[in-house]
């Protein structure tokens, strides 16, 4: 099971002093706590990380939901190296390179039917802000400029751009910037209902009616003011919320009825996590746009994308042909190195059947997960594809402390999980074997049992 570390000799990171840790302001991290007891990763291969002091860590999170083909894939490394030697960079505006077109075509091949144009970004946050901007511009170019309202959902995570935090529904991500959020945003209720849905396997039974809140918002604001609704098919960062049966379909129907665009934020659900290439296919609901990132390049070069349906792209291709249609883009849109990584990644996914592998393992994963029911403090276990959310009873007055403690103990014992509030999340690389699953849940069981 365990793998020899490639070159486990201590790396320079092992010698970092407390002072040397200071300059790097770490994102979404308790900097002072971390720097007192740093967790430094030095290497990765397959299903494993190795820390700077040579400890092996089983990766139950695919990094942060992104390393779907496992770590250190030589095919990607070689493609990236070749690209750097051939064409390191080319201007993204008014110029192209073959990889950009090839990757767009490959992404379209695995996308839901009808979503056939791809706008490249460098992250999930940029994908979200890009999709929101396309939605607003789309209505405008079609002569419906009053459609400016954006609808998100409580507990939604859509990255950290101003658009993303505006439609997002996680309070700490918003409150510092509350006066600067995008105006005219409303939120649907989240779908988390432990009283009715605890310990659901797959899609929970209760909650489809929550989609009807969109009808209520249409009555309140009038459809002619609403541009788009954005939701994660499965909410990840907030602690794994699986959509109730029928919920996404109902959202789609209401959007259709009122000319509202539906955006699925598939930054974590894209590229095989649910058992289909995208959650849209898995749940049989086709949105108007998909935002993605992470697994697009197996996490190894930053890249994101917005996949849009033909009608949206075509709506922009109307004016004089020499006019720029969309005043939006990044220096690194379709960066040649990211495209090379993306093409190599999609080839691996196809060759190894990784975009549907989660379906084959889902039952085994589900049974292993629900076996933890009854352990001290476990108030919910929820799962879909190769995703797990495990919710713990909070320690009174210390929200998040219990799950953080479990996270630390797992890490000390050689298992990387994610923690958000009092919820633990697992989302292993899609190359995971049953033996790894046994090891993950065995270790988690021991840590939870010890309390």
Least CB distance to ligand PXG at residue 27 (A): 9
d(CA 52, CA 49): 10
The residue from 158, 250, 273, 309 that contacts ligand PXG (CB under 6 A) is 158
Per-residue x/- track, 14-53, ligand PXG (CB under 6 A) = ----------------------------------------
Least CB distance to ligand PXG at residue 419 (A): 8
Least CB distance to ligand PXG at residue 235 (A): 7
Nearer Cβ to ligand PXG (5/275): 275
Nearer Cβ to ligand PXG (50/157): 157
CA of 359: how far to CAs of 232, 274, 277, 404, 426, in Å? 19, 7, 11, 30, 16
Least CB distance to ligand PXG at residue 217 (A): 21
Least CB distance to ligand PXG at residue 331 (A): 17
143 torsion bin: left (phi>0), alpha (psi -120 to 50), beta (else): left
Nearer Cβ to ligand PXG (182/293): 293
| Angle in degrees, CA 35, 38, 43, rounded to 5 | 140
Residue 237 as a binder of ligand PXG (CB under 6 A): the answer is yes
Nearer Cβ to ligand PXG (5/282): 282
- Quick one: tokens of 380? 């919910």
Least CB distance to ligand PXG at residue 155 (A): 11
Helix (H) and strand (E) counts in the chain: 16, 15
Among 120, 354, 387, 156, residue whose Cα is nearest residue 263: 156
| C-alpha gyration radius of the chain | 22
CA of 335: how far to CAs of 90, 220, 292, in Å? 8, 43, 16
CA of 33: how far to CAs of 17, 25, 61, 336, 401, in Å? 15, 13, 22, 38, 13
Among 239, 265, 255, residue whose Cα is nearest residue 381: 239
Selected range binding ligand PXG among 263-271, 316-324, 366-374, 432-440, rule: CB under 6 A: 263-271
- Quick one: tokens of 67? 């390393």
Least CB distance to ligand PXG at residue 158 (A): 5
Least CB distance to ligand PXG at residue 178 (A): 20
Task: Assess contact for 156 and 237: CB atoms under 8 A.
Answer: no
Provide the greatest CA pair distance for the chain: 68
CA of 38: how far to CAs of 13, 71, 72, 400, 416, in Å? 10, 22, 23, 19, 14
Per-residue x/- track, 53-72, ligand PXG (CB under 6 A) = -----------xx-------
Least CB distance to ligand PXG at residue 146 (A): 27
Per-residue x/- track, 118-137, ligand PXG (CB under 6 A) = -----xxx--x---------
The residue from 99, 207, 236, 244 that contacts ligand PXG (CB under 6 A) is 236
Tell me, by CB under 6 A, how many residues bind ligand PXG: 18
Nearer Cβ to ligand PXG (315/408): 408
Per-residue x/- track, 379-418, ligand PXG (CB under 6 A) = ---------------------------------------x
Per-residue x/- track, 285-324, ligand PXG (CB under 6 A) = --------x-------------------------------
d(CA 398, CA 249): 38
Residue 232 as a binder of ligand PXG (CB under 6 A): the answer is yes
Least CB distance to ligand PXG at residue 304 (A): 6
Question: Coil, strand or helix: which one is 80?
Answer: helix
Nearer Cβ to ligand PXG (71/223): 71
Residues whose CB falls within 8 Å of the CB of residue 338, separated by 6 or more in sequence, listed in order = 120, 122, 297, 301, 302, 303, 332
Nearer Cβ to ligand PXG (133/142): 133
Residue 436 as a binder of ligand PXG (CB under 6 A): the answer is no
Least CB distance to ligand PXG at residue 242 (A): 14
The residue from 265, 288, 380, 391 that contacts ligand PXG (CB under 6 A) is 265
Residues whose CB falls within 8 Å of the CB of residue 412, separated by 6 or more in sequence, listed in order = none
Please give the sequence-ordered ranges of beta strands (E in DSSP) within 173-225, or none if there are none: 185-188
d(CA 203, CA 439): 26
Residue 163 as a binder of ligand PXG (CB under 6 A): the answer is no
Pairing of strands 415-416, 261-265: unpaired
The residue from 57, 268, 343, 416 that contacts ligand PXG (CB under 6 A) is 268
Binding site for ligand PXG (CB under 6 A): 64-65, 123-125, 128, 157-159, 232, 236-237, 265, 267-268, 293, 418, 420
């Amino acid at each position: 099971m365990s793998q020899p570390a490639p070159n486990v000799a201590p790396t320079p990171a092992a010698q970092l002093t407390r002072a040397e840790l200071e300059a790097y302001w770490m994102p979404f991290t308790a900097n002072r706590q971390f720097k007192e007891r740093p967790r430094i990763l030095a290497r990765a291969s397959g299903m494993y990380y190795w820390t700077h002091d040579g400890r092996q860590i089983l990766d139950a999170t695919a990094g942060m939901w992104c390393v779907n083909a496992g770590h250190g894939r030589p095919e990607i490394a070689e493609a990236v190296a070749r690209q750097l030697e051939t064409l390191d960079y080319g201007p993204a505006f008014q110029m192209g390179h073959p990889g950009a077109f090839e990757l767009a075509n490959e992404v379209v091949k695995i996308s839901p039917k009808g979503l056939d144009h791809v706008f490249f970004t460098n992250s999930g946050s940029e994908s979200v802000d890009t999709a929101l901007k396309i939605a607003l511009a789309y209505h405008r170019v079609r002569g419906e400029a009053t459609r400016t309202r954006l609808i998100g959902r409580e507990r939604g995570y859509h990255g950290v751009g101003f658009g993303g935090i505006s439609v997002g529904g996680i309070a700490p991500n918003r409150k510092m910037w509350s006066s600067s959020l995008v105006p005219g945003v409303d939120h649907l209720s989240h779908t988390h209902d432990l009283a009715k849905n605890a310990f659901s396997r797959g899609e929970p039974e209760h909650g489809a009616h929550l989609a009807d809140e969109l009808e209520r918002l249409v009555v309140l604001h009038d459809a002619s003011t609403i541009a788009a609704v954005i939701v994660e098919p499965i909410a990840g960062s907030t602690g794994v919320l699986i959509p109730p049966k029928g919920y996404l379909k109902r959202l789609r129907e209401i959007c259709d009825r009122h000319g509202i665009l539906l955006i699925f934020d598939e930054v974590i659900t894209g590229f095989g996590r649910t058992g289909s290439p995208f959650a849209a296919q898995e749940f049989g609901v086709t949105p108007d746009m998909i935002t993605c990132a992470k697994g697009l390049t197996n996490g190894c070069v930053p890249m994101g994308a917005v996949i849009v349906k033909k009608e949206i792209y075509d709506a922009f291709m109307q004016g004089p042909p020499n006019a720029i249609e969309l005043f939006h883009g990044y220096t690194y849109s379709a960066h040649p190195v990211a495209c090379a990584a993306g093409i190599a990644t999609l080839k691996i996914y196809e060759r190894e059947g990784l975009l549907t592998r989660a379906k084959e393992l889902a039952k085994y994963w589900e049974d292993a997960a629900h076996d933890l029911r009854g352990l001290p403090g476990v108030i919910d276990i929820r799962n879909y594809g190769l995703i797990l959310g495990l919710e713990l009873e909070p320690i009174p007055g210390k929200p998040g402390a219990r799950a953080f403690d479990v996270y630390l103990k797992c890490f000390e014992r050689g298992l990387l999980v994610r923690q958000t509030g009092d919820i633990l999340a697992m989302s292993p690389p899609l190359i995971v074997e049953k033996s790894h699953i046994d090891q993950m849940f065995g270790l988690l069981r021991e840590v939870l049992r010890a309390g």
